[in-house]
Homo-oligomer: A and B are copies of this chain.
């Protein structure tokens, strides 16, 4: 960073002022085609690169967006991140990532991103942040625009990018009913999570529509993880009166559930059908391959990123940060793990 050419050097090489060089880069149509060419050549020759810190300081911006991920180690998010970086690639904004559940002081550091000039915008994938963290954005111009993706807050009017979770759950239940199942259970995500609530609601609604039993002892607790799926397998085994099909609120849980049943000698789908949710990559290759509700994860990330960019630009131009919310479609993918009951 020491001997790097600066805009002054380029200006000297091109025989123009620094203002012209700056304009040739950031507002090409404000300089004549001739000088622009000269400036670009000078940039080429000197090997000049803008200093982002200087630019950001002057423009009063941060130059990046932050993605708040509840748990980076969870592969569910990797494809969403991929969609985000894809959409951001040409924008000139950096993509920073932060794990909201990671010690030390996760909460404190998030606040730092929120109030701060560290990010021009946020994509929040974790709606279970401490209440006060997000409400810190009360005073509208004290924080950058926020887009929620995947998860959201019912009480919060900010724009979101989600999928139709309720419909997804209904598709799953109807699929099992179509196969002939009448005894259907549901393995849920973490309590309080909006996805858990919405998917469970959809499952209940579909069961009711179909006139099927909604039995509390067939609604198993989980937390979206593989391990909780395995734990649910034990709960299922412990029942006297078991459902013949289980709709799991995540593929990870479905895999954990099936894997553990397999250890106990219970075959899927012979003895119990399983439907997952997410369509993670392994679902198609699992044994048995997993029937699931596909959600377009990369597209979610991409959409959220574009929406955020729009908000950032809009916020700069006028003040009206409108927040239409996108709901992306889901799709049933039928595979081996679901079959008619014996």
Chain A contact residues, CB within 8 Å of chain B: 1-4, 47, 49, 51-54, 56-57, 60-64, 71-75, 77-79, 81-82, 85-86, 89-90, 94-99, 102-105, 109, 112, 115-118, 141-142, 226, 229-230, 252, 255-256, 258-260, 262-263, 281-282, 284-289, 298
- The answer to whether A259 touches B281 (Cβ under 8 A) is no
Interchain residue pairs A-B with the least CB separation, the first 6: A75-B75, A259-B285, A53-B56, A53-B57, A72-B82, A73-B82
Query: How far does the alpha carbon of A167 sit from the alpha carbon of B153 in the complex, in Å?
Result: 49
Q: Cβ of B287 and Cβ of A64 under 8 Å apart?
A: no
The residue from B62, B141, B286 contacting A3, defined by CB atoms under 8 A apart: B141
Q: Is A258 a contact of B287 with CB atoms below 8 Å?
A: yes
CA distance A115 to B49 in the complex (A): 8
Report copies per complex. Answer: 2
Q: Which of chain B's residues has its CB closest to A260's CB?
A: B285
Which residues of B sit under 8 angstroms from A47, Cβ to Cβ?
A: 115
Expressed in whole angstroms, the minimum distance between the Cβ of A201 and any Cβ of chain B is: 28
Chain A to chain B contacts (Cβ below 8 Å), 25 pairs: A1-B117, A2-B141, A4-B117, A47-B115, A49-B117, A53-B56, A64-B94, A71-B82, A72-B79, A72-B81, A73-B82, A74-B78, A75-B78, A75-B281, A77-B78, A78-B78, A86-B99, A89-B102, A89-B104, A94-B94, A94-B96, A96-B96, A255-B285, A262-B287, A287-B288
A318 CA to B230 CA, complexed, in Å: 53
